[in-house]
Amino acid sequence: MLEIKSLNKSYGKKKVLFDLNYTFEDGVYGLLGPNGAGKSTLIQIMTGNLICDSGSVSYCGKDIRKHSREYRQVLGYVPQLQGMYEMFTAFQFLSYMAALKGIPKQKIPLEAEAALEIVGLLDVAGKKLSTYSGGMKQRILIAQALLGQPKVLILDEPTAGLDPKERIKIRNFISRIAEERTVIIATHVVSDVDSIAKEILLLGEGRIRRHGSIQELCSQLSGQVYEARIKSEALEKLEERVVISNIQELPDSTIQVRFIAKDENFRGLVTEAAEVSANLQEVYLSAFSEQDGRSGENAGAV
């Protein structure tokens, strides 16, 4: 169990985290928020790489700062930036990382092979990292985080810069390795977590705006999400009154639009609107349009 209590952090006069409290148990957690929300700062504190101004992070009841060596033995971390020795082969890189983690020398080859097999790169273990694609390098970073069979796995923007096919691969790997460990994925891409997360935390301007299971979060928008077909000239006015979540141009020059509305002030612009179930992207848009104090499709980006 990983727990954050009354966590605060500032950089000079700018406060970036405000009294955060949360308990993570086994399973996948999605830490969602726009760029600048404080996700990376929170991740750096939870990995022990950054000191908070006040509050604490504890694992199984022990403060990670006071028991840092013990905590690092159960922690796996995938950083946002791909920093690795490009002239190493994948096997050499993982062997080196395993040695840094203090894994006994005789166990390193088996650990490296097992991690490479999990991420689907065992067949190219002898190739230099400089020859790897961005997605393959990201999988190697996940592999190094798995060395030592950590109980806590923290991933900071694990699919940044990857194409859709590689995003799906990474997401599938994360889902497979999540059993009996705590996995925290910090991202601003809803699709990274919407099919695998046990719970979602929406972090905005250093505060937890909403949290809960995807079903719980989506149910909070019950009666507020609609689909309608409108004329193109009505779109701009509709954007001023609601939060647009999806637009599709149809062959007859009309637009199929999906939107979030807390009241029915859109009725003069839309003749027929069908109420539909919300999805996680709409929860995200709703939460951060409230934060920005505005509606319209530019209220959030996913």
Model confidence, pTM = 0.87
209-250 pLDDT, tens per residue?
999 999 999 999 999 999 999 888 889 899 988 999 999 998
Please identify which residue in the block is written with the tokens 């062997």. Answer: 95
Whether the pLDDT of residue 4 is over 50: the answer is yes
The average pLDDT across 261-284 equals 88
Determine the straight-line distance between the first and last CA of the chain, rounded to whole angstroms.
30
pLDDT of residue 263: 84
Number of H helices, E strands in the chain: 9, 14
94-141 pLDDT, tens per residue?
999 999 888 999 999 999 999 999 888 999 999 999 999 888 888 899
254-260 and 225-231 beta bridge pairing: antiparallel
- Residue bearing the bigger pLDDT, 119 or 76: 76
- Residue 271 CB partners (closer than 8 Å, separation 6+): 228
- Out of 3.90.400, 1.10.1200, 3.30.70, 3.30.1300, which CATH number does the structure's domain 219-299 have? 3.30.70
Which of 37, 34, 55 minimizes the C-alpha distance to 46? Answer: 55
Mean pLDDT, the chain, whole residue set: 89
Helix ranges (DSSP H) in 73-107: 90-100
Please identify which residue in the block is written with the tokens 């999806």. Answer: 246
- Residue bearing the bigger pLDDT, 188 or 210: 210
Whether the pLDDT of residue 74 is over 50: the answer is yes
- Residue bearing the bigger pLDDT, 145 or 294: 145
Q: Which fold has domain 2-218?
A: Rossmann fold (3.40.50)
Whether the pLDDT of residue 191 is over 80: the answer is yes
Whether the pLDDT of residue 198 is over 70: the answer is yes
pLDDT of residue 298: 37
Question: For the chain, what are the domain ranges?
Answer: 2-218, 219-299
- Residue 20 CB partners (closer than 8 Å, separation 6+): 4, 6, 7, 8, 42, 55, 206, 207, 208
